[in-house]
Amino acid sequence: MKYSFFPGCTLEAAAEELMISTKKVAKALGIELVELDGWTCCGASHLQDVDDFKAVSINARNLALAEKLNRPLLTVCNTCTLMLRTTKQRLDEDEELKEKVNKVLDEAGLKYTGSVEVTHLLWVLVKDYGLDKLKKKVKKPLKGLKVANFYGCHIVRPPEIMGFENYLNPRSMEMVAEALGAESVDFDRRLSCCGFHAVFPAEKEVLKITGIDCLSAKKAGAHCVVTPCPLCQMQLDMYQPDSQKSFTEDITIPVLHLPQLIGLALGFNFEELGINRHIVDANPVLINIA
């Protein structure tokens, strides 16, 4: 299986350990990732509020780069997936906009045609790779591990753009966790926002959101939170100590990116997956389980 790969800024710079774990897991599963040469930031759901045409154009460029590779474009970030799929839908439905964007792309020798599919690693595992095949790759079943699957906002909404599964009750994360031998716990914040995109203008409010998300998972009996989005992973992990200051109850819980959970089941250790680089120490909770 071969995909063009859009890593996004978080994996490229802010959370290098997530890039390491993604590449290790993909290789172990036999999924070849060919990184786009010259990709640029998707805009992180903010750029369109400043310059909508520029946001469409830069993502059209990313899509055009993927079209040159003639492979589906895979991401491991909810927001990157949303931005790329939004651009694709808009261009595919608006010939006038597509023509304007292609005039810009022509200066770089590129053209958007609409031939590339945009997908997410989570969707690939469920739909393309297959859960039965994933089960066969498991070397260390995560038996006894209770995970809180935190979908976040952008992997399921808006449904008319994302549309992989029921946006009110998605089950893909639970299906993957089960294939790895883990147990999913039900908690009321699984589809909530992590607060990442509002942390600078509304830090106080966002820290409360982050803390509520973590506390919800912990009260449900989870040993860790798992998310398919690196932005959610960073927010819930990095800001957890600051969030704790607003809570009398202990909200401490490790937060993993989806490829890291898969990597544990494939037999990789914490250091190989970069889990030891996270702010919240996973050892006390996971070392005897994963």
Average pLDDT, the chain: 96
Residue range 118-134: mean pLDDT, rounded: 98
Window from 42-51, 172-181, 259-268 with minimum mean pLDDT: 42-51
Helices and strands of the chain, counted as H and E runs: 15, 8
State the pLDDT confidence band at 20, using cuts at 50, 70 and 90. Answer: very high
**Residue of 107, 43, 119 lying closest to 76 (CA atoms):** 119
What number of other Cβ atoms are within 10 A of residue 200's Cβ?
8
Torsion of CA 121, 223, 28, 152, to 10 degrees: 10
Instruction: Could you list the beta-strand ranges (E) of 6-109.
Output: 32-35, 73-75
pLDDT of 94 reads 98
Contact 236, 150 (CB under 8 A): yes
Name the pTM for this structure.
0.97
